[in-house]
Amino acid sequence: MNKVIYLDNAATTKTRPEVVEAMLPYFSQYYGNPSSVYGFSTPVKQAVEKARETLAASIGAKTNEIYFTAGGSEGDNWAIKAAADAYQDKGRHIITSKIEHHAVLHTCQYLEHHGFQVTYLDVDDKGMVRPEDVKAAIRPDTILITIMFANNEIGTIQPVKEIGRIARDQGILFHTDAVQAYGHVPIQVDEYQIDMLSTSAHKINGPKGIGFLYIRKGVKIRSFVHGGAQERKRRAGTENVPGIVGYGKAAELAMETMEQRAEKERTLRNYLMERIMQEVPFTRINGDCENRLPNNANFAFQFIEGESLLILLDGKGICGSSGSACTSGSLDPSHVLLAIGLPHEIAHGSLRLTLSEENTKEEMDYVVDSVKEIVARLRDMSPLYEDFMKKQ
């Protein structure tokens, strides 16, 4: 097999051809600045607003509650820093979890250097935040709760509805990083009582470098990028028009196909997990088997290094990940795997495979056969494994 088997859709996805096609006219035909008054810019302005309407409708929001950003990291930074800024008179305490994306964790750490206090909640061994822990962590000076919708490494879907209810009851703002969940599972901001929500196009077959932050009407939030009056004066800079149009198209397709896509991915993912668990000994599944993104599989193979496994899989044309893309290059095991209680040496032997609807059963068979062979080969070279087997 010479072709690439792409199983890293949590890192990024392929931009769908319909999305590329929708974007193309906005480079060299409709290239006017949406802020200009002349008629030449009218279709550009309209395209931006049409995308905004599509995106708003997809989460049950109002059009004027959608603010375009340069992606998920910006949305997370904006929501957290600007809420801290706007609500610091009320208090300087923030609640989050230990398994957030670095865009949230590092933003919280930044705020800690600026006089804020942050509670990083533990999760259970499946990677689930306990709503009662959220409740117990609330203090009179708590101004923000930020808990992700679904985790990017182990796919665990959080009890967002319960957390939203607790936050609303206590009058505390609730932000959720929904970058992994949006377009994959249904999200309604009113039902879940979400005040702010970050998303990113490139995780749902849209282009890279565009996302949106939902900000509920009435939330006091400062502008993030200062300059022109774009995005209701809250995020300056000439709009990324092709990106916005592409995101609108990607979201439209994602919403239309969500159910059947999830079903297809879940079936294939379960097949992959079952075969791996049956055929590769000393393996565990990381994360929750029920409350889990349909395309996410995450394994821990004892006695091996995930990095070596990845390199050898790459040699067979298989793209996977050992932690989050942001941590590869560092030797620390993933903070998410440590938070669910994996010892360092087991966390090091982890492999994340995230599917798309384009994957096939034949590919899964090839992947299982490859993983089996490579894991066995790596274990043969492992002194830990040798010691372990001697003791058996």
Ligand X SMILES: *Cc1c(COP(=O)(O)O)cnc(C)c1O
3-class state of residue 385 by DSSP? helix
Of the candidate spans 21-29, 172-180, 256-264, 307-315, the one that interacts with ligand X by CB under 6 A turns out to be 172-180
Task: Tell how far CA 252 is from the center of its chain.
Answer: 19
Catalytic residue among 108, 289, 319, 326: 326
Counting residues that bind ligand X (by CB under 6 A) gives 15
Residue closer to ligand X, measured from CB, 97 or 200: 200
Instruction: Describe the crossing of helices 42-58 and 241-279 by its angle, rounded to 10 degrees.
Output: 30
For ligand X, the nearest residue by Cβ is 72
Tokens of 50: 């049409």
- Closer CB to ligand X, 204 or 304, in the complex: 204
Residue 307, CA distances (Å) to 292, 316, 334 in order: 24, 15, 12
| Cβ 376 to ligand X shortest distance, Å | 32
In the complex, the smallest distance separating the C-beta of residue 213 from ligand X, rounded to whole angstroms, is: 11
Binding residue for ligand X (CB under 6 A) from 9, 44, 68, 71?
A: 71
Site for ligand X in 184-213 (CB under 6 A): 200, 202-203, 211
Residue selected from 177, 239, 265, 288 as contacting ligand X according to rule CB under 6 A? 177
Nearest to 353 by CA among 295, 308, 302: 295
Contacts of 166 (CB under 8 A, 6+ apart): 131, 134, 135, 138, 145
Shortest Cβ distance from residue 72 to ligand X (Å)? Answer: 2
CB nearer ligand X, residue 76 or residue 363: 76
Chain position carrying tokens 């397709």: 253
* Residue 289 designated active-site: no
With binding defined as CB under 6 A, does residue 73 bind ligand X?
Answer: yes
Among 34, 52, 72, 172, binds ligand X (CB under 6 A): 72
Binding region for ligand X (CB under 6 A) out of 128-136, 174-182, 187-195, 336-344 = 174-182
Question: CA–CA separation, 220 vs 216, rounded Å?
Answer: 9
Closest CB to ligand X among residues 248, 280: 248
DSSP state of 85: H
**CA-CA-CA-CA dihedral for 218, 219, 224, 230, to nearest 10:** -20
Please say which residue, 179 or 196, places its beta carbon nearer to ligand X: 179
Residues 6+ apart with CB under 8 A from 86: 220, 221, 222
Minimal distance in Å, beta carbon 368 to ligand X? 26
Q: Binding to ligand X by residue 99, rule CB under 6 A? A: no
Cα–Cα distances in angstroms (integers) from residue 62 to residues 53, 57, 65, 135, in the given order = 8, 7, 5, 29
365 Cβ neighbours under 8 A, 6+ residues apart: 275
DSSP per-residue codes, 305-369: -HHHHHHHHHHTTEE-BSS-TTTTTS-SPPHHHHHTT--HHHHTTEEEEE--TT--HHHHHHHHH
Residue 73 or 295: the one with the smaller Cβ distance to ligand X is: 73
101 binds ligand X (CB under 6 A): yes
Range in contact with ligand X (rule: CB under 6 A) among 16-24, 67-75, 154-162, 232-240: 67-75
Choice from 180, 286, 296, 359 touching ligand X (CB under 6 A): 180
Asked whether the beta carbons of 129 and 100 are under 8 A apart, the reply is no
Shortest Cβ 202–ligand X spacing (Å)? 6
Please report how close the Cβ of residue 260 comes to ligand X at its closest, in angstroms.
23
DSSP 193-210: T-SEEE--GGGTTS-TT-
> Of the ranges 163-171, 176-184, 270-278, 285-293, which one interacts with ligand X (CB under 6 A)?
176-184
What backbone phi and psi angles, to 5 degrees, belong to 95? -115, 130
Looking at 119-127, 173-181, 298-306, 329-337, which segment touches ligand X (CB under 6 A)? 173-181
Site for ligand X in 134-163 (CB under 6 A): 148, 152
Q: Which of 59, 179, 297, 351 binds ligand X (CB under 6 A)?
A: 179
Which residues are tagged catalytic? 326
- By CB under 6 A, name the binding residues for ligand X: 71-73, 76, 101, 103, 148, 152, 177, 179-180, 200, 202-203, 211
